[in-house]
Amino acid sequence: MSISKPTIKRLQLLTIILLMALIHKGHAQSIDLNSRLFQRSKAAYGELDLKKAKRLCLKAMEKDDLKEQPDAQLLLANIYFAEKAFDESRKLYYKILTGLDITDDRRTFLQNAISRSQKNINHIKDLKVPKQSFEGEVASGIVNLNNFEKVTSLDSMVIYPGCSVYEDQKTTDKCFHYYVNDLISFNFDKTILKDIGINVPTVIYPFFTVTNEGTLSDIEVYAAHPLLELEGIRILREMSKLKPATVNGKPIAVKESMHVHIWN
């Protein structure tokens, strides 16, 4: 069967249109990767200049047509997370996840990032719960050591292996904090900072319970990026058994919190 000349011309035109579309798509992807605004946003995020990073990222998404570009969306979600806008980060992480292929390597991170965003939302709510008195906490079986008055009210503070038993509970507490800080900062995988594009020292905030048996439970870490939180949790889960705190001559569970500086 012969094909008429008009049909051939239409096919040729269609082929040209398809080729032009492919070329345009490739060019657009190149522009996406090389968007100056996007690169400047990444650089500002690397310095944790979050206000500047967000402004440049939103501008790049608008001006350079990156609104549906996963890398741009991911940067914006990470910025939201770092500035503690966790509802926004959770929604955007989820949006990115639903748009990715099932085999995309980023899916695991996004699932963790959604979970960490929700954990932070819950943590902020928990901080608003009215605080009990020391006596009330003792009766409940767990004391939240959120001030030195509670520390000094214990018979003995949690003792980390290597710390001496001090008569002053504040000194024992400081020794405990020193060793936990050292444990985390020494074992922290610093390549994570490079991988997530953060180029400045940052701080993570561990929260955990030392049970009346000296083990850790309810481990949470809050930081500027989900992977920093997960790395802190990994380290704390491997902590040696501790000597528990005591009150009225009996072991008691205590809630601890601290901050740890992470250097590149």
> 252 and 207 share a domain?
yes
Q: What is the CATH number of the domain that holds 82?
A: 1.25.40.10
Is the same domain home to 115 and 219?
no
- pLDDT at position 162 is 83
pLDDT-derived band at 225 (thresholds 50, 70, 90) equals very high
Please report the pLDDT score of residue 163 as a whole number. 86
Residues 150 and 118 in one domain: no
136, 255: one domain:
yes
Instruction: Tell me, letter by letter, the H, E, C secondary structure of the chain.
Output: CCCCHHHHHHHHHHHHHHHHHHHHHHHHHHHHHHCHHHHHHHHHHHCCCHHHHHHHHHHHHHHCCCCCCHHHHHHHHHHHHHCCCHHHHHHHHHHHHHHCCCCCCHHHHHHHHHHHHHHHHHHHHHHCCCCCCHHHHHHHCEEECCCHHHHHHCCECCECCCCCCCCCHHHHHHHHHHHHHHHHHHHCCCHHHHHHCCCCCEEEEEEEEECCCCCEEEEEEECCCHHHHHHHHHHHHCCCCCECEEECCEEEEEEEECCEEECC
Domain-embedded: residue 3 = no
Domain boundary among 97, 125, 153: 125
pLDDT beyond 80 at 255: yes
pLDDT in tens, 147-185: 989 999 999 999 998 887 766 888 889 999 999 999 999
Rounded to an integer, the average pLDDT of 192-216 is 97
Q: Could you give phi then psi for residue 103, rounded to 5 degrees?
A: -95, 0
Candidate from 28-42, 219-233, 241-255 with smallest mean pLDDT: 28-42
> What confidence category does residue 16 fall into, taking pLDDT thresholds of 50, 70 and 90?
very low
Residues 169, 253 within the same domain:
yes
Question: Residue 10 falls within a domain, yes or no?
Answer: no
Q: Give the pLDDT mean for 57-65.
A: 96
Question: For 115-146, b where at least 16 C-beta lie within 10 A, e where not — what string?
Answer: ebbebbeeeeeeeeeeeeebeebbeeebbbbe
End-of-domain residue from the set 125, 154, 186? 125
Same domain, 161 and 191: yes
Residue 216 lies in a domain: yes
- pLDDT tens column, 73-117: 999 999 999 999 999 999 999 999 999 999 999 999 999 999 999
- Give me the domain span that covers residue 43: 35-125
Q: Is the pLDDT of residue 5 over 70?
A: no
Last residue in a domain, options 125, 150, 181: 125
Answer yes or no: do 86 and 166 share one domain: no
Examine the pLDDT at 233 and tell me if it is beyond 80.
yes
User: What's the predicted TM-score (pTM) here?
Assistant: 0.86
What the block records as the tokens of 67 is 């609104």
Q: Does residue 110 sit in the same domain as residue 138?
A: no
Question: How many structural domains compose the chain?
Answer: 2
24 within domain boundaries: no
Q: What percent of the chain has pLDDT over 90?
A: 79
Answer whether residue 17 is part of any domain: no
Both 76 and 136 in a single domain?
no
**4: in domain:** no
pLDDT of 142 > 50? The answer is yes
CA angle 117, 123, 127 (to 5 degrees): 150
pLDDT at 21 over 50: no
Q: What is the per-residue pLDDT across 22-42, written as a single tens digit (0 to 9) for each?
A: 333 333 333 445 899 999 999
Asked if residue 23 belongs to a domain, the reply is: no
Other Cβ atoms less than 10 A from the Cβ of 44: the count is 19
Q: Which residue shows structure tokens 């709510």? A: 125
Confidence of residue 12 (pLDDT cuts 50, 70, 90): low
* The two three-digit tokens of residue 171, written as one number: 């000194």
Range with lowest mean pLDDT among 12-26, 111-125, 128-142, 177-191? 12-26
